[in-house]
Every structure is written in structure tokens, then in C-alpha cells.
């Protein structure tokens, strides 16, 4: 659904609910039910366009709702009017939190950047069948350097570099063109990181035949689930990933790949921060 279609749907819903609400003022039960229906355009506006537009939608609903209420029910008493005001405040709170969720999703997707700082690690004395995961983490190149510093030169070490391209949800964008551009950008970033990782491995002493490059596209599936499926199918000894520092709110909303893998994966997990 395009941005214009979404806006048109919200406008039609708003006027449709207003019509039902105003024409049933002498039928108390229906009148109250139709009042609650204002939540539908409010929630849709907040979910599709974010907190700012969701709160704006609430203000429009208030302008449609309150004047008529006060003019038509002047004898209803203070309690009745107070309940109507509280109802609108609840609408504003719902719009705020739904819009906050939308804005947080957009911000989280846009803020995924890479950082090439390199950690120093000691060398282990045995080889591994490693799965090195490349996704939108700020420490993926650190993870590649960790593999070089720890495992380069060790006989029997094989590395699979798995680039995971996460396609963004269409709901985050106003038009199909913006969505397509975001998909291309995401794929380009993962391709670039995968190429840099390959160069790091070659320059670090891994023979070309000791590692392989794979790419996987996911949409609704989580990154952690994809990694666990890959490990289960090919029986990797160890998974190496770049960690991501997240607030408690971000972890609650989006999940943390490293935390989920540590809890559920059936092999050792190395997280590089």
C-alpha cells in the first residue's frame, strides 16, 4: 500500500467514524462504541507514520470529538465530560507508544553502521570449523580480525563467511521506490563487508581454499534464527559474530542476536565487541 493510499484510508476511516458517532448520539450504546472506533485511524497513523503524525491524528480526532460533545451534552454533568477528556488522553498515550515503536524501528534500521577497530587475541592451539557471520553489526570487521589473530596458521581451520542480508519491512517506507532503494542499500552494505572480510582473511594468512563465502537473504526471520539453522545444517564447531551494544529498550523491541545465540545455539559462541 502506497503512502497516498494509507493517507486516504485514514481520512476515510476518520470521517466514517465521525459520521457514525454523530448520527448515533441519541443511542448511548452505539454512541460509545463508535467513539472507541476513533482508535483505528489513530493506531494506523501512528504505526505507519510515527509518533509525530500519530499525535497529530489524535489532535484532529479531539477537534472533531470534543466540541460536539460539549455542545450536545451540556446537561450531562462534569463527570461525563471528564470521562470524555480522559478517553482522549488515552488516545494520545496509545498514539505516543505506537508511534514510538515505529520511530524506534526506523532509527534502529538507519543507525546500523560498521566500525573497523581491531581487537588483540591470543592464538589457540587447535583448528576449528568456524562460522563467521556478517550482518548489520558495528563490529563485524573486528570479528574478522579476531578470527585472523586467533586462528590464522592453525592447521585444520576452515572458515565459512556467511553474509546475512536483512530486507527491511515495507511498512517503514512511504513508497515502493524507497523500499527498493533500502533493499539495494542493505545488500550493497553486506556485500561490501563480505568483500572486506575476505581481504582481511587473505591478508591475515588464510589460504584462499581455507574459507568460503555464502550469502543469505532474510525477511521476517530473525538473524539469530538464520545463524542457528546454518549451524545445525552444517555442524560448525564455533560461531563468531560482531556484537552490538544496545539499550534495554532496544533489546526488548528488536532482540539481541548475541544474547539469543548464547541462550539457544548448540555450539560455542564468540562475540567480538
Evaluate if pTM is beyond 0.75: no
Specify whether 254 is located in the same domain as 139. Answer: yes
In a domain, 118, yes or no: no
Are residues 185 and 235 both part of a single domain?
yes
Task: Specify if 45 maps to a domain.
Answer: yes
pLDDT band (50, 70, 90) for residue 197: very high
Co-location of 212 and 247 in the same domain: yes
Q: Is residue 123 part of a domain?
A: no
* Per-residue pLDDT, 31: 66
Domain count, the chain: 2
CATH number for the domain harbouring residue 187: 3.40.50.620
User: Based on the domain organization, do 133 and 267 belong to the same domain?
Assistant: yes
Q: Do 14 and 94 lie in a common domain?
A: yes
Same domain, yes or no: 103 and 227? no
Does residue 94 sit within a domain? yes
Q: Which of 79, 110, 141 is the last residue of a domain?
A: 110
Q: Is residue 165 part of a domain?
A: yes
Same-domain pairing of 246 and 149: yes
Q: Which of 110, 144, 168 is where one domain is finished?
A: 110
The answer to whether residues 99 and 177 belong to one domain is: no
Residue 121 lies in a domain: no
122 lies in a domain? no
Residue 120 belongs to a domain: no
Decide which of 80, 110, 140 is a domain's last residue. 110
What is the residue range of 42's domain? 3-110
- Model confidence over 138-186: pLDDT tens digits? 889 999 999 999 888 788 889 999 999 988 888 777 888 888 888 888 8
pLDDT at 78: 64
Say which residue, 263 or 119, is predicted with more confidence: 263
Q: What is the average per-residue pLDDT within 10-20?
A: 85
Output the DSSP codes for the chain: --HHHHHHHHHHHHHHHHHHHHHTTTSHHHHHHHHHTTHHHHHHHHHHH-HHHHHHHHHHHHHHHHHHHHHH-TTS-HHHHHHHHHHHHHHHHHHHHHHHHHHHHHHHHHT----------PPPSS--EEEEEESS-TTHHHHHHHHHHHHTT-TT-EEEEEEEEEPPPGGG-SSHHHHHHHHHHHHHHHHHHHHHHHHHHHHTT--GGGEEEEEEEESSS-HHHHHHHHHHHHT-SEEEEE-----HHHHHHH--HHHHHHHH-SS-EEEE-
What does the pLDDT read at residue 113?
Answer: 47
Amino acid at each position: 500500500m502506497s503512502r497516498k493510499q494509507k493517507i486516504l484510508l485514514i481520512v476515510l476511516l476518520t470521517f466514517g467514524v465521525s459520521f457514525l458517532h454523530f448520527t448515533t448520539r441519541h443511542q448511548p450504546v452505539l454512541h460509545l462504541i463508535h467513539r472507541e472506533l476513533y482508535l483505528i485511524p489513530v493506531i494506523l497513523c501512528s504505526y505507519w507514520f510515527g509518533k509525530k503524525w500519530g499525535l497529530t491524528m489524535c489532535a484532529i480526532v479531539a477537534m472533531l470529538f470534543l466540541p460536539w460533545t460539549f455542545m450536545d451534552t451540556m446537561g450531562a454533568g462534569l463527570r461525563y465530560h471528564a470521562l470524555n477528556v480522559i478517553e482522549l488522553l488515552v488516545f494520545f498515550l496509545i498514539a505516543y507508544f505506537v508511534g514510538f515503536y515505529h520511530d524506534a524501528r526506523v532509527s534502529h534500521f538507519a543507525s546500523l553502521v560498521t566500525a573497523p577497530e581491531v581487537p588483540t587475541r591470543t592464538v589457540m592451539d587447535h583448528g576449528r570449523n568456524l562460522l563467521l557471520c556478517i550482518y548489520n553489526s558495528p563490529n563485524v570487521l573486528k570479528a574478522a580480525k579476531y578470527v585472523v589473530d586467533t586462528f590464522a596458521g592453525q592447521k585444520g581451520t576452515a572458515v565459512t563467511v556467511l553474509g546475512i542480508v536483512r530486507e527491511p519491512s515495507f511498512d517503514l517506507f512511504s513508497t515502493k521506490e524507497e523500499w527498493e532503494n533500502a533493499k539495494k542499500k542493505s545488500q550493497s552494505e553486506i556485500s561490501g563487508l563480505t568483500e572486506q572480510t575476505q581481504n582481511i582473511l587473505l591478508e591475515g594468512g588464510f589460504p584462499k581454499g581455507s574459507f568460503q563465502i555464502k550469502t543469505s537473504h532474510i525477511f521476517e526471520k530473525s538473524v539469530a534464527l538464520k545463524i542457528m539453522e546454518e549451524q545445525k545444517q552444517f555442524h560448525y564447531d564455533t560461531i563468531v559474530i560482531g556484537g552490538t551494544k544496545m539499550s534495554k529498550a532496544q533489546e526488548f523491541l528488536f532482540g539481541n542476536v548475541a544474547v539469543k545465540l548464547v541462550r539457544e545455539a548448540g555450539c560455542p559462541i564468540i562475540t567480538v565487541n
